Amino acid sequence: AGKKVLVDPKGDDYSKYAGATVLTPNRAEFRQVAGSWKDETQLVEKAQALRQELNLEALLVTRSEEGMSLFGADGVVRQPAVAREVFDVSGAGDTVIATLAVMLAHGVDWAQAIHVANVAAGVVVGKLGTAVATRDEINAVLAERD
């Protein structure tokens, strides 16, 4: 139907997500499906192979303290983690995919979308319990970084 489909994948069989726009596994979820890697080059090879096999526009692997990496047809976009004190990682992945969806719906490019999603996740991990990142909080962090 020409709609973007964003998936936070579960389990070890990603074939059911073939044709989605983007999958957003965390590092451990991706390792469960693709196997371990020895270095960044091997990670890129495994990620791009899975992206192509599943006919995805992109694969976004969230990597905790290493930030996130977006694997697309044009290569890899890396987004370093936002340095913050971490209180609780609950909901960080949900925040990433929700923010990514909003940004893509507004026509923002992938690099900017993952930048803002990363900032939003940084906001929520700096709070106790499952929390939200407000527009004002995200904008404040973005203003600090510019």
- Residue 126, C-beta contacts closer than 8 angstroms, at least 6 positions apart: 84, 85, 86, 87
Q: What is the CA radius of gyration of the chain?
A: 15
CA distance 107 to 96: 17
Q: Which helix (H) or strand (E) covers residue 78, if one does?
A: strand 75-79
CA distance 86 to 83: 9
Task: Clarify whether 94 is annotated catalytic.
Answer: yes
Return the axis-axis angle of helices 135-145 and 110-125, rounded to nearest 10°. Answer: 110
Among 105, 116, 111, residue whose Cα is nearest residue 143: 116
Choosing from 8, 88, 94, 109, the catalytic residue is: 94
Residues with catalytic function: 94
